Structure 1
């Protein structure tokens, strides 16, 4: 009886030992290289990559690729739209320019703005009739089509005219504004007395109504004066610069300028006082010195030399 019990126990223990050994081996094998791949890659990513590689085909586009492609297509569509709009605008602009040019050309050829009146402003020595005659506006000219440069050139040829301005007064009036030269002195050239401006431009022969208060420049050698021409005489220009340098109230007291040479240029006042000025340098100072001497000596003084204003010389009636 006893020996039978022992064999069963021995047999049972051996079985449990073999199960533990085999179970341990199976557990170890399951953790090795022969384990089920689903345990290591539950989502099958590796399998999908392997299958795609085996097929050799391109990667199927994902959501991100489709979105990027859609954006590129949208950008290209908008670029083409902008290009078409710009082309349309350019064509419209060209059409408007052409239409405007055609319209203006047709309007210029028409008589809608025909010049029917010429208005002259700014003249004093010239008459309006003289200006209109010199302008010679062609018959049938319009405010949009008239020879502006030719009219201005004809008017500027007159010695009295310093500037010409032509303006349109729609619908039918052309306005001519003249800026005249201002007579500054008279020049006795021997056979005639001429009016000149401060720059030596010869304007016209002297007339009593124009030059009553202007001083006369005389004794200038070698003068050849002609209306519309500027004198080239240095002696004459020196005399004009002397007059221009005087204060206005002193200028009005000068009735003549004797200018046989630059150094001998002298002023003769309305009180018959001769003031030797010479070269047109420091003219305001020379004038002030001369006036001071005339105030101090009164009517007794007849000659003053201020060519050197720091050392003036004067003579009276008794000398």
Structure 2
């Protein structure tokens, strides 16, 4: 006969064979409690394990209940290309309060530090990061090196300036001292500027030395004589100063028959000075300046001898209204046209010219040493006119007159030959 305890076990075991189901939408809105399953242990059956299953169809507030899983939660791997979610900052615990250590989920990735994740993730550039402190240090080093270089150059420049300052002071002392005072002044004379005349014109201040002498002032003083075009100043240490006036070169002698004057004209088209029309010459007709010539020439013959003496060309038939002034530029158009021919002709052809007649610009003509007259006209096409005259003289005999006012349509006359 079984005992009462055995009966209870048997009845409990018989009841646990079927699970109880409750239909959704019961009387009350409270969720149905799943019935606990018990496992019967007996010696005959052994240690059989039965896994309890959740109640199907239960509701919580008319919503299906979430399924429970016995598997541990694993953090899912983010999809490639998706932006990682920004982790929430953990509030810093107040002083004296120990922050609770967050639980760690199995398989979850280690959270990143807030300082290593920007608000917007950027694509890595592939370059190594630059430490701003090291950049500042490099800049400081470069600045220091530049400052050292500038300081070094500054010292060099300062030293050079100091040396220059010393040299300037020494130069000023030497110049203003009497070591190189010009005590021996030698003034050379020229053909038309005597030594006496030059001494009268030059005004050297007291204390003039070889360093502070002013050549420009000496030139200006001597140019009061119209023959002077410049001055050569030489220094011979320690006390000698040599001054030599340089005369204008005479290129033409203009004979004004109305006044019986012969005016020298310089190579800068300047009236220089009148010359005496009574000169002494030797047997060859050369001018004698010593006053011991064998013959005396006057008038136009004296002017012609003077032109030969200066290696110049005689300009004749100069209009009476021409009024030369020493040191003034030539203003007569006829005389200037005659000077154009003097410059335009070759030296070989000028050697054949006795004189050039300049009554007017259109009536300019040249008288050659062989007696041939050449009508030139204005001072255009000078080279072409010379070429025509030279060709005629070489090819035609007995020529007495040539007209080259229009060199492309020239005419000539020649004496008949027997």
Same fold (TM over 0.5): yes
Q: Deviations over 1:98-157 (max 9, x none)?
A: 333323222221223333555779966656675566444434212321223312322344
Contact persistence 2:248–2:267 (CA under 8 A): no
Q: Structure 1 residues 9, 132: CA separation in 2 closer, same or farther (over 3 Å shift)?
A: farther
CA distance in 1, matches of 2:178, 2:393: 69
2:413 pairs with 1:289: no
1:229 aligns with 2:328: yes
Structure 2 residue 307 is matched with structure 1 residue 211: yes
1:197 aligns with one of 242, 266, 269: 266
1:55-76 CA deviation, whole Å, 9 max, x = no partner? xxxxxxxxx5664554454344
Change (3 A) 1:102 1:306: same
For the residues of structure 2 that align with 1:29 and 1:296, how far apart are their CA atoms? 135
1:158 and 2:225 aligned: yes
Which whole-Å CA distance do the structure 2 matches of 1:295 and 1:83 have between them?
81
Q: What is the CA–CA distance in structure 1 between the aligned matches of 2:161 and 2:199, rounded to whole Å?
A: 41
**2:177 paired residue among 103, 107, 110:** 110
Matches within 5 A, 1:88-103: 88-89=155-156, 91-103=158-170
Q: Deviations over 1:204-247 (max 9, x none)?
A: 33365453354422221112123222221111111222233333
Q: 1:151 to 1:36 in 2, by over 3 A?
A: same
Distance 1:264 1:47 in 2: 112
CA root-mean-square deviation: 4.4
Classify 1:66/1:293 alpha carbon distance in 2 versus 1 (closer, same or farther; 3 Å): closer
Give 2:98's aligned residue: none
What are structure 1's unaligned runs of at least 5 residues?
Answer: 1-5, 19-26, 50-63
Shift of 1:172: 4.3
Partner of 2:282: none
CA 1:8–1:66: 2 relative to 1, 3 Å: farther
Change beyond 3 A, Cα 1:316–1:116: farther
Change (3 A) 1:245 1:65: closer
Aligned pairs, number? 290
In structure 1, the partner of 2:318 is: 220
1:61 corresponding residue in structure 2: none
Q: Which runs of 5+ in 2 are unaligned?
A: 1-40, 51-69, 76-101, 117-130, 280-286, 288-305
2:345 to 236, 243, 246: 246
Say whether residues 1:269 and 2:372 are aligned partners: no
CA distance in structure 2 between the partners assigned to 1:113 and 1:141 by the alignment = 9
The residue aligned with 2:6 is: none
C-alpha contact (below 8 Å) 2:182/2:209 kept by paired residues: yes
Q: Could you say if the C-alpha distance between residues 129 and 46 of structure 1 is closer, same or farther in structure 2, counting changes exceeding 3 Å?
A: same
Other structure's SS at 2:250 match: coil
Contact 1:202 1:229 in 2 (8 A): yes
Counterpart position of 2:144: 77
Distance between the aligned counterparts of 1:177 and 1:193, measured in 2? 27
Contact 2:334 2:358 in 1 (8 A): yes
Q: Kindly tell me: are residues 95 and 304 of structure 1, through their superposed partners in 2, closer, same or farther at Cα, counting changes over 3 Å?
A: same
Q: Distance in 2 between matches of 1:166 and 1:203?
A: 23
- Scaled by the length of structure 2, the TM-score of the pair is 0.54
